Structure 1
Amino acid sequence: MSHSYQNNIGYWIKLIFRETSRLYDQRLAQYGITTSQVGVLVQLWNVGDGLTQKELHERLRIRPASLTNLLDPLVKGGWVIRKQDAEDARVKRIFLTDAGRSLEQVCGGIVEDIEERIQQQLTPEESALMLVWLRKIHSGVMEGGEDRGKDLHSLFIENDSE
């Protein structure tokens, strides 16, 4: 018996995620960063500078090695710096550079443009209802049903390479 994945909600969510990620990556390429790397920046913009690498990988729900793979190019590109924690030399804290801070407005514009493209497919009522449904689905698929990802409100923070 064959199964048509085209009738699965998860199939369409993944398809939309991949396509929007592709659009983001195309726009971000001129800055030498990827959608997944912007996820790190979003955390620093929203929560604040000085998060530890452990805090970042937990917030992003990715493995420590995956975070290292995201951070290394951001450090090399001059968007963030790593600093040793004052109290524990084993702990590294991540800070935005001025260049990293300046990307917030650029990335916000990219998000607005792509969001507008998405929203054009729906009426305002459909958009509002879609958000309700997506939040409900998200909450239901989180570990234990708890909404640990409530701060992961941007497509930028998802990392497909886990």
Structure 2
Amino acid sequence: MLARRWRRALDTRLAEAGLSDATWVPLIHLQTTGGGVTQKELAALVGIDGSSLVRLLDILSRQELVERRVDENDNRARLIFLTPKGEQRVAEIRRELAKGEEDMLADISDADLATMLDHFDSIEQRLAAKPLKRAQETGE
């Protein structure tokens, strides 16, 4: 529930800056990965199906934020990269995200924030280990 509210608050802030969820999330992932990812890889990172991503990439391409390049190792595949204009847009997005996070965390001390992040990390590690444990128990 908290994660959804957090995301909604950031989406609202970015929408006020003219950035929709559909456009900012793939741009952030492209910058984080360094670009050069396939459409399939990017769809998995963004959490949408391939056909939805194709439409989204068409929009981002028309806005000159991304470009598709032929994969030198597989001429059938296209790799996705940010353009210089896309890099600038990501910088704007990151500034807005930082402002939003700063607003949401304003009354939480650095020590409390560090403790909270440690707890989140512990929970994440526990959840990541559970599927492996179940698979080992069932012999999968």
Q: Give the letter aligned to residue 46 of structure 1.
A: T
2:34 is the counterpart of 1:48: yes
1:33 touches 1:74 (CA, 8 Å); kept in 2? no
Q: Which one has the largest radius of gyration?
A: 2
Structure with the higher fraction of residues in strand conformation: 2
Q: How has the CA–CA distance of structure 1 residues 65 and 49 changed in structure 2, closer, same or farther, with 3 Å as cutoff?
A: same
1:20 touches 1:114 (CA, 8 Å); kept in 2? no
Structure with the higher fraction of residues in helix conformation: 2
TM-superposition CA deviations, 1:80-127 (whole Å, max 9, x none): 112222332321110111210101221121121111122223222211
Q: Give the letter aligned to residue 106 of structure 1.
A: E
Structure 2 equivalent of residue 144 of structure 1: 131
Which of 87, 109, 113 is equivalent to 1:123? 109
Structure with greater contact order relative to length (CA < 8 Å, sep ≥ 6): 1
> How big is the alpha-carbon RMSD for the aligned residues of Structure 1 and Structure 2?
2.6
Q: Give the letter aligned to residue 124 of structure 1.
A: D
Give the unaligned 5+ runs of structure 2.
133-140
The percentage of counterpart residues that share the same residue type is 30
Kindly report which structure 2 residues correspond to 1:75-114, keeping only aligned pairs within 5 A, or say none. 75-114=61-100
Alignment partners' CA distance in 2, 1:17 and 1:52? 28
Aligned residues: 131
Structure 2 equivalent of residue 135 of structure 1: 121
Please give the TM-score of this superposition, normalised by the length of structure 2.
0.73
